Amino acid sequence: MIIPSIDLMGGKVVQLVQGREKALEGDAPEEMLRKFAAFPEIQVIDLDAAIGSGENGEILETLASRAKCRIGGGVRTAERARRLIEQGAHRVIVGTAAFTPALAEIADAIGRDRVIVALDSKAGKVVVRGWREATDFTAEEVINRLMPYCGGFLCTYVDNEGTMQGTDLDWFRRLRASTQHELTAAGGITTLEEIRELDAMRVHAALGMAIYTGRLDLATLAEEKSFGPRMHTNKHE
Active-site annotation, residues: 7, 120
Q: Which helix (H) or strand (E) holds 82?
A: helix 78-86
From CA 162, how far away is CA 173, in angstroms rounded? 21
Nearest alpha-carbon partner for 46 in 86, 1, 16:
16
Residues 6+ apart with CB under 8 A from 85: 92, 110, 114
From CA 15, how far away is CA 96, in angstroms rounded? 21
CB burial of residue 107 (10 Å; 0-12, 13-18, 19+): buried
From CA 82, how far away is CA 147, in angstroms rounded? 20
Q: What are phi and psi of 231, to 5 degrees?
A: -70, 150
Sign of CA dihedral 214, 219, 223, 226: positive
Torsion angle (degrees, nearest 10) of CA 116, 9, 167, 147: -10
